[in-house]
């Protein structure tokens, strides 16, 4: 009986601690190879911050009314660090509602919100004077690296 309880606990704990998986691609778990098996990816070069490959999903395969989805991978392991998706500005409210149900809200302002699941930061925003909404899922360590590089460039 104890063995069954341990197995059930392990199964549910892995679900509870799973990272967000926008478009079926789990942050900090999905490999480049796995993403290529799921979608046709278009090479966008090397990401400035991760020094790893960057891709967009082919337009005809974009899910959920997205107009663009960009994937950023780590340099050495080719693990997914970030997913950025662009939607029509009119989708902001429904995206906000859906994210609010799944993640902890840590900041909100006019057409800008930040959520977390402890390992991933999720930014939802409408850039000034834009017709688009953007949602970004960023692995915490990658977000910290981007911030450190940005601060270093300023100084």
Q: Where along the chain do its domains lie?
A: 18-154
- Per-residue pLDDT band for 144 (boundaries 50, 70, 90) equals confident
- Name the residue with higher pLDDT: 14 or 92: 92
pLDDT at 9: 36
Is residue 3 pLDDT above 60, yes or no?
Answer: no
Interval 24-76: pLDDT, tens: 999 999 999 999 999 999 999 999 999 999 999 999 998 778 999 999 999 99
Length of the chain: 155
Distance CA 57, CA 38 (A): 10
- Biggest CA pair distance of the chain: 61
The average pLDDT across 131-150 equals 90
Distance CA 143, CA 34 (A): 23
Whether 120 and 128 have beta carbons less than 8 Å apart is answered as no
pLDDT at 31: 98
Which burial class, exposed, middle or buried, applies to 115 when counting CB atoms under 10 A from its CB (0-12, 13-18, 19+)?
buried
Whole-prediction pTM value? 0.84
Interval 88-113: pLDDT, tens: 999 999 999 999 999 999 999 989 99
């Amino acid at each position: 009986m104890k063995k069954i309880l341990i197995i059930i606990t392990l199964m549910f704990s892995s679900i509870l601690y799973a990272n967000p998986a926008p478009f079926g691609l789990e942050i900090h778990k999905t490999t480049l190879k796995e993403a290529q098996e799921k979608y046709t990816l278009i090479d966008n070069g090397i990401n400035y911050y991760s020094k790893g490959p960057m891709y967009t999903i082919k337009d005809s395969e974009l899910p959920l009314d997205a107009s663009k989805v960009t994937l950023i991978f780590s340099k050495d392991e080719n693990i997914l660090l970030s997913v950025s998706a662009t939607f029509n500005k009119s989708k902001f409210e429904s995206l906000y509602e859906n994210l609010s149900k799944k993640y902890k809200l840590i900041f909100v302002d006019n057409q800008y919100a930040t959520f977390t699941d402890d390992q991933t930061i999720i930014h939802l925003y409408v850039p000034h004077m834009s017709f688009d909404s953007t949602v970004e899922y960023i692995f915490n360590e990658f977000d910290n690296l981007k911030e450190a590089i940005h601060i270093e460039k300023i100084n």
